[in-house]
Homo-oligomer: A and B are copies of this chain.
Amino acid sequence: MLEAAARIFEERGAAAATTDAIARRAGVSIGSLYQYWPSKEALLAELGACHVLAAHAALAPARERLARGAPPDEAIPALVGAMVDLHASRPRLHRVLWEDGVLGDDARHAVAALHRSVCDALARWLAARHDVDVSDAALAARVACDALAALAHGVALSRRGGAAPRAVREIETLLRRYLTGRD
């Protein structure tokens, strides 16, 4: 049922998706749909919450490596891999959910918090390691995170089902060079 909603939202976008279409796709009546979610917005919110949860889980190993100060050759591929996997699962749904005005403040805050937590972990990692070379760890972390998110999304969109290894390697190169100043 959530799955049906996800598919309809992916296909038509949040505004053009109708609750009727979602119910029909799920093989239930709209009445039943409304027995489980009080509104279309709630459906979107739950989809958003699921994504945030999945993101949390997917990023946990990378964050752990950053927290324990793993070397760049271990931490960066872990971070890039997690981010790419995250976007690879449902890139269109991801895009739709984070369009303006689709999700409520709760989901928005949750994503912001997650993003910030990764940023902070990266900033602390940058401050702690001596083989990196950045003048302002917080700023560099933010720039790196933003770039990574966009690039991971791009890779996921262009290569449906399984990201291109060369593109992933290239993102790692970008981050390594940017943050360590070396290859």
Contact = CB atoms under 8 A, between A and B. Distances in A.
Interface in A130-183: 136, 139-140, 142-144, 146-147, 149-151, 154, 166-167, 170-171, 173-174, 177-178, 181-183
Given A13-B100, A143-B170, 15 more contacts: A12-B101, A14-B15, A15-B16, A16-B101, A95-B100, A99-B100, A136-B166, A139-B166, A139-B167, A139-B170, A140-B170, A142-B154, A143-B167, A147-B174, A150-B150
Contacts of A154: 142, 146
A143 B171 contact: yes
A142 B171 CA distance: 11
A53 to B, nearest CB: 23
A interface majority secondary structure: helix
Interface of A: 12-16, 92, 95-96, 99-101, 136, 139-140, 142-144, 146-147, 149-151, 154, 166-167, 170-171, 173-174, 177-178, 181-183
Q: Which 3 pairs between the two chains have the least Cβ-Cβ distance? A: A150-B150, A15-B15, A147-B147
Number of this chain's copies in the assembly equals 4
A12 B102 CA distance: 10
A178 B174 contact: yes
A13 B16 CA distance: 13
Contacts of A181: 177, 182-183
B147 A101 contact: no
A19 B13 CA distance: 20
Nearest to A173: B178
